[in-house]
Amino acid sequence: MSHRVLVEAGPAAGVAVLKFRNPPVNALSLEMLMELVISLEKLENDKAVRGIVITAENPGIFLAGLDLTEMCGRNPAHYAKYWEAVQELWLRLYQSSKVLVAAINGACPAGGCLASLTCDYRVMADNPKYTIGLNETQLGIIAPFWFKDTLVNTVGHRAAEQALQLGTLFPPAKALQVGIVDQVVPEEQLQSAALSVMAQWLAIPDHARQLTKTMMRKPTVDQLVKQREADIQSFVGLISQDSIQRALQTYLQKLRQKKG
C-alpha cells in the first residue's frame, strides 16, 4: 500500500488527482520515486483516466526535489540505482499520454521544478514564500542535460541559461513572467483553476493531442534514452567526488540546524 503518493478520483469525470505526501518536505527518496512510477504506470493504463492533476497533499512544499540523503555518504551502486529511478520518473511524466496539470501549492525547487516542467500546464499559488526553479548550481551540482532541455523547451534558451547558471528560484510573479509557470492564482482558487484548465485541454480529441505531444517531445526523450547508461555513470562520477560530498554534507548540516 503506497503511503507517499495518494491517487484519488478527481471531481470531474476522467480526471485523477495525484498528491505528494512524503513529510516533512516531499523529498524524492528512492521509495517515493518507485511509488510514483508505479502510480503513474497504473494511471497510464487506466482508460477511464484522461487527465491527472498533480499537487501536494499539504500546502507549503509542492515537491522538495531529490533527496540529498540518497546522494550523500552512500556507495556508487546506490547512486546508480537512485539516478536510474530519477530518469524513470522523468520518462514516465514527460511521455505521459494523459493531460498533466501541475497545481503548485508550495515550494518547488530542483527535482520538484523538473517534475512540474514535465506537465502540460502549470498553475501556481500566489504566495511569495513559494518559489520554483532548478537551483542545482547553488549546491555545487550541475543540472543534467535532460533537466536543461526540459527547461529550454519551456522558457527558451537565454532565460534557461541565465536561470541555470545562477540557480535562480523564482517567486510566483517572476516565474510567470519567465514562463516557468503558465498561470498564478490566489491560493484558495488553485484547485478550481487547475480543473478549469484541465477541462479546456480535455476538450481536444485525445488521439490528436497525444500525437502532437509525442511529436514535440520525442527528440528530448530520445536524447536521454540513447544516453541513459552514460548519464548514470556521469552522475555517479560527479556525486562521488569528495568536494561534492563535502558540499552536500555542509548543506545537510545547515538544514538540520535550521530544523533544530
The C-alpha angle 178, 182, 185, rounded to 5 degrees, equals 110
Residue 66 a catalytic site member = yes
3.40.50.1970, 3.90.226.10, 3.40.50.620, 3.30.1150.10: CATH of 5-203: 3.90.226.10
Let me know if 8 is a catalytic residue. no
* Catalytic site includes residue 135: yes
Q: Determine which helix (DSSP H) or strand (DSSP E) holds 6, and give its type and residue range.
A: strand 5-9
Mean local confidence (pLDDT), 110-119: 97
3-state SS assignment for residue 54:
strand
Mind listing the pLDDT tens digit for each residue in 12-26? 999 999 999 999 999
pTM as predicted: 0.96
Domain coordinates of the chain in residue numbers? 5-203
What is the C-alpha end-to-end distance of the chain, expressed in Å? 32
Catalytic pick from 136, 151, 190, 195? 136
Which contiguous run of DSSP H or E holds residue 214?
A: helix 206-239
* pLDDT tens-place string over residues 232-260: 999 999 999 999 999 889 988 988 888 76
Residue 198 C-alpha cell reads as 484541465
**pLDDT tens per residue, range 157-202:** 999 999 999 999 999 999 999 999 999 999 999 999 999 999 999 9
Q: Which residue out of 51, 111, 133, 167 is catalytically annotated? A: 111
pLDDT at 256: 86
Question: What b/e string do you get for 77-103 counting C-beta neighbours within 10 Å, with b at 16 or more?
Answer: eebbbbbbbbbbbbbbbbbbebbbbbb
pLDDT of residue 260: 67
Question: Of 135, 164, 190, 248, which is the active-site residue?
Answer: 135
